[in-house]
Amino acid sequence: MNDFKQKAMIYRLVSDQGKTKEAYEYYGECKVSIRQIKAEDLLISEGNPAKMAKLYADQKIDINETDKLICEGVEYIIKNIVRVGDKALRWTEAIIYKPSN
């Protein structure tokens, strides 16, 4: 699983000093693969499958749940991160969803 060809920008959710307002700040870029969500993923996703997808990325990618990912002009929020694989081949998977604005 190393066909990460889509360029994505990561934004991390941060709070101001008074912790009264949250905002996203640019965190970095990475290469990912975004695919349609599969039926077995719907069990853990708890959302609208039409707004959801599956993210695949290198295991070394630094992402957190609630991070915002923008890929090819589409905005997603990261949810349900899982590290997959063995010593020779590892990658990160996550359920991502398009937020309602």
Tell me if 32 is assigned to some domain.
yes
Tell me if 12 is assigned to some domain.
yes
Query: What CATH number did the domain enclosing 21 receive?
Result: 2.40.10.270
What does pTM read for this prediction? Answer: 0.81
Tell me if 1 is assigned to some domain.
no
Domain total in the chain = 1
C-alpha triplet 17, 23, 77: angle, nearest 5°: 140
The tens digit of pLDDT for each residue in 1-27 reads: 557 899 999 999 987 666 667 789 999
The tens digit of pLDDT for each residue in 52-94 reads: 999 999 888 899 999 999 999 999 999 989 888 777 778 899 9
Task: Give the type of residue at 75.
Answer: E
- What one-character-per-residue DSSP string does 7-42 give? EEEEEEEEE-TTSS-EEEEEEEEEEEEEEEPPGGGH
Tell me if 39 is assigned to some domain.
yes
Range of the domain at 33: 6-97
